[in-house]
Structure 1
Amino acid sequence: MAERLGMTAELYASGFDEGTHGVRPLEALFDEVRRDDLVLLSYSIFDPCLGRILALDCKKICYFHGVTDPQLLRALEPRTAQLCDKALAQLPLLAGFDALVANSHGTAKSLAGIVDTDAIAVVPPVFPDMYVFRREMPRRGRKRQEPNLLMVGRVVPHKRVEDGIELLALLKHRDFNATLSIVGSTPNYDCLKFLINHARRLGVLERVDFKGMLDDADLFECFESANGLLAMSRHEGFCVPVLEAMHYGKPVFVRGGTAAEEICPRDSVFDAHAELAAWVPVVMQRLGQCAGRCPIDLAYVRHADGVLQRASDDVWRALFSGVGVASGFARARASGAAASVQKRR
């Protein structure tokens, strides 16, 4: 995107595979940044380099993804919970950036009392030209013997994968035989073990498929062959899988109370405190219309397209212009991951 806007972009990271093309060690950023650069920081968890970045003598934008509530992580991921605690204490420093961008309105509101939230731009963390949104869609939905529900994301405590498994069991009790595919990394062995035992106790383990990490082709296959997507998380800064599922024309079933509800139709959102039993008739009704085929609902496709337009190049051009950078070179760092730098010529 930056290059399309006439800027030269560099990427920096503090933790990455050294074979990754185009990414350089973060320390190089501090050696190379110049006064006419723009630094773009992606922030979602405690960043030990935040003070050094704020001290750079150049324009700086922070893209804020939100910080997960530590209480959702403390039992099974105490180290991550500790880092989230430290991140919450660090948030007042974000007021030192020349501009703040959030991935959702919910994320922006989490900075209330620190900055003027009305001044925070809200831009989805995607781009319309990403391959997943450009690839040619199948003309007809895939056939399946039984309806399939899909969950996509890291298998970690706050994603509440166990609620998806319980919903599957409730459907089974209503003689609605469905399957559940769970796509995402499983970094926490105790969490994965709990989920497997949970599915076994509920009598649906044979209907649950833990697929782990997938490449793009296999992930696209999962979206194309699914009848609907479940988003049960108790914390989401945005929830890209919901957008991807809608782009594929699939129904989404979303727990309210997170930013995921901002990007889908209102009738796809369930009250955050609703019992799972309340989900059952809605899921049965929408999936029961499939008749062996996974239909493509163009209303969802159009809704996804509308969300994507909020992340167009023109939106970012206006943001860069707002801090006095219209073209050239800027630098950005993703918290604990990658940073991009674009320097003016």
Structure 2
Amino acid sequence: MSPIVDLLVPQMATGDATSNHTRLIQQLLEEKGFETRVVVERKSRSDGSDLSVEKWKGDARVSILQHSIGSEVAQFVIRKKTPIVLNYHNITPASYFQSWQPELAKSAQRGRQQLGQLARLTRRGIADSEFNAQELRDLGIDDVVVAPVLWQLGSGMPQAGLGDSTDIDGAGTVLNTTDIDGAGTVLFVGRLAPNKCQHDLIAAFAVLSRFRPQSRLVLVGDASPPQYLHSLKSLARRLDVHSRVVFAGKVSDKNLLQWYQLSDVLACTSEHEGFGVPLVEAMANGLPVVAYDAAAVAETVQDAGIVLSDKRPLTMALALDRVLGDEQLRKSLRECGIKSAQRFDISVTRQQMWIALKDLVEVGD
């Protein structure tokens, strides 16, 4: 009988980075001959293949917990005092959500409290980035390995020509991509959330639009919380740029690739990124990056983009204008980005993850 490895995660959702990461670890382990069980807070798969945490016995050879928010899954681990491999994706500080969504703030606070308790049960910490790894070491976890998020860049996406000159954004609006292409398109990809600070990006775009009136800002991603989306739309109206800001919402993989290809620069004003998958996706697709230096951003981008220590609207706008107006700079950043993104190719990150797990899962074989 094959040894069992349990993969514990609060939920499995389509398009979610942690869920995709979990499934890719599952594939890796099963290819190596191990039996796996995905343990979730609430079962959502219609085929019933995921195991509800209430039925979890904690009897696997290794239990790997994905942790980035407070959860009942983590609480079960703590209650059972089960030794784990802690795969840490960082926890957004609760202060970002306190005035927007108090329940989410409580969940973040709970996740932080649970992290301290989980540290005492951790056999090995696996962190997406050195930034996250240091946080685990500060909690007293001595055995910490850095292994980036497993993510198949461009999974299911066409890699050549855009085809038709029209497309549909996440809100169901038909967009004329001919008008967008070449007009100076600034792209953001990720949740619309207070810690991502899209309000700062809209303010910077308002400055940019004074000397690039045909430019456009595209925000791709779900709103969390919804109130924050309303405030962003209100801000765009107050700054008189609402007609040039596209709230695309959640989009398909195919449409996401098209936004990467149609845009001229990816901008990120986030104040908390434990890793930053969209940064890597942009680089892999040859899209220059301008980002604020917060948390793991500089570590992820390295020299493949412009990383700013100051994100005041004028500073960000000038950096964006520089990229938009300098073809040679865009070419250089494009080449550096494609090369840098190879660090996170699935063939590389799978090997890093296997090295991080191998001695634990193979014990006794």
> Shared topology, TM-score over 0.5?
yes
Question: Larger deviation: 295-304 or 275-284?
Answer: 295-304
1:125 equivalent in alignment to 2:149 = yes
1:52 equivalent in alignment to 2:76 = yes
1:110 equivalent in alignment to 2:173 = no
1:326 equivalent in alignment to 2:362 = yes
Q: Unmatched 5+ residue regions in structure 2?
A: 1-27, 164-176
1:27 equivalent in alignment to 2:54 = yes
1:150 equivalent in alignment to 2:172 = no
Q: What is the RMSD of the two structures over their aligned residues, measured on CA atoms?
A: 3.0
| Cα shift at 1:156 | 1.4
Runs ≥4 residues deviating over 4 A: 54-59, 133-136, 139-143, 293-296
Which residue is equivalent to 2:11?
none
Which residue is equivalent to 1:338?
none
| Cα shift at 1:105 | 1.3
Map Cα deviations across residues 295-329 of structure 1 (whole Å, 9 max, x no partner): 99232111000233795332222222332x1289x
Could you tell me how far apart the structure 1 residues matched to 2:155 and 2:42 are?
A: 28
| Cα shift at 1:97 | 1.4
Map Cα deviations across residues 45-80 of structure 1 (whole Å, 9 max, x no partner): 112343532565875211011111111111112111
TM (norm. structure 1) is 0.83
Could you tell me how far apart the structure 1 residues matched to 2:212 and 2:191 are?
A: 30
| Structure 1 contact 250–295 (Cα < 8 Å) conserved | no
Alpha-carbon distance change, 140 to 192 in structure 1, aligned in 2, over 3 angstroms = closer
Which residue is equivalent to 1:331?
none
Could you tell me how far apart the structure 2 residues matched to 1:222 and 1:89 are?
A: 38
1:268 equivalent in alignment to 2:306 = yes
| Cα shift at 1:246 | 0.3
Alpha-carbon distance change, 58 to 228 in structure 1, aligned in 2, over 3 angstroms = same
Could you tell me how far apart the structure 1 residues matched to 2:228 and 2:267 are?
A: 19
Alpha-carbon distance change, 23 to 295 in structure 1, aligned in 2, over 3 angstroms = farther
Which residue is equivalent to 2:122?
97
TM (norm. structure 2) is 0.78
Q: Secondary structure at the match of 1:297?
A: helix
Q: Percent identity?
A: 22
Which residue is equivalent to 2:41?
14
| Cα shift at 1:159 | 0.9
Q: Which amino acid aligns with 2:159?
A: M
| Structure 1 contact 237–259 (Cα < 8 Å) conserved | yes
| Structure 2 contact 63–84 (Cα < 8 Å) conserved | yes
Match of 2:109 among 82, 85, 96: 85
| Cα shift at 1:212 | 0.9
Match of 2:283 among 237, 241, 246: 246
Q: 1:186-225 residue pairs with structure 2 within 5 A?
A: 186-225=223-262
Could you tell me how far apart the structure 2 residues matched to 1:179 and 1:321 are?
A: 47
Could you tell me how far apart the structure 2 residues matched to 1:21 and 1:27 are?
A: 14
| Cα shift at 1:17 | 2.7
Alpha-carbon distance change, 200 to 254 in structure 1, aligned in 2, over 3 angstroms = same
Q: Which amino acid aligns with 2:113?
A: A
Alpha-carbon distance change, 299 to 194 in structure 1, aligned in 2, over 3 angstroms = same
Alpha-carbon distance change, 226 to 209 in structure 1, aligned in 2, over 3 angstroms = same
| Cα shift at 1:294 | 10
Number of equivalences = 320
Q: Secondary structure at the match of 2:126?
A: strand
1:282 equivalent in alignment to 2:319 = yes
Alpha-carbon distance change, 210 to 48 in structure 1, aligned in 2, over 3 angstroms = same
| Structure 1 contact 70–82 (Cα < 8 Å) conserved | yes
| Cα shift at 1:92 | 1.8
Give the structure with the higher percent helix. 2
Could you tell me how far apart the structure 2 residues matched to 1:58 and 1:113 are?
A: 21
Which residue is equivalent to 1:172?
209
| Structure 2 contact 205–313 (Cα < 8 Å) conserved | no
1:62 equivalent in alignment to 2:86 = yes
1:301 equivalent in alignment to 2:334 = no
